[in-house]
Amino acid sequence: MLRVVPTLIDHPRRAPAWLPLVLAALLIVADQALKAWALANLQENAPAQPFIPGLIDWVLTFNTGAAWSMFSGSAAPLALGRLLIGLGILVYLFIRPQPRLLSVTLSMIAAGAIGNAIDGLRQGKVTDMIHSPVLSSVTQALNAGNFPIFNIADSCVVLGTILLIVASFLGDRRKPRI
């Protein structure tokens, strides 16, 4: 008979209830700080300012819609939806603590949603400033134009979603097969 020995992977420790709130708050503060810096130091339609030459440039732009300017002109309803989703995720994580990886991943997604909701509710548009020439060269090679200019909140949502997908596949691989 095959005996399965439990490991730390099988029973991941739950994250403390405060972790998602603190992580989301730090990411939201970073997002809002960079947006404030961009508004104070960059000009819309100005040439790109290299930050890490060839990798990241600063380019100020605004988006009244969602990713890739979908639903342009819908900033207020999108902001309200983002805010409700972000807060809903954080409330869920506070009430029902999850394994650490899931808590971190969902906190990133919540922070991104709330960070962009703040812009939408306050300004009626989302401030974007990070341009990646490398990502643009990939999308241009695929005949898809330039890669969109983005912000920290966008990065949190995308990276959090990617981590969530990867973790879901890794979780399936770890289950013992008898």
| Enzyme catalytic residues | 128, 154
The Cα 120–Cα 79 span in angstroms is: 5
Residue entry with tokens 């600063």: 58
Residue 60 structure tokens: 């100020």
Indicate the residue type of 155.
S
CA distances from 72 to 63, 64, 77, 78, 136 (A): 7, 5, 11, 10, 21
DSSP string covering 59-91: EEEEESSSGGGTTTT-HHHHHHHHHHHHHHHHH
E strands, 32-149, in order? 49-52, 56-63, 126-131
Nearest CA to 165 out of 109, 96, 111, 110 is that of 109
The Cα 40–Cα 20 span in angstroms is: 30
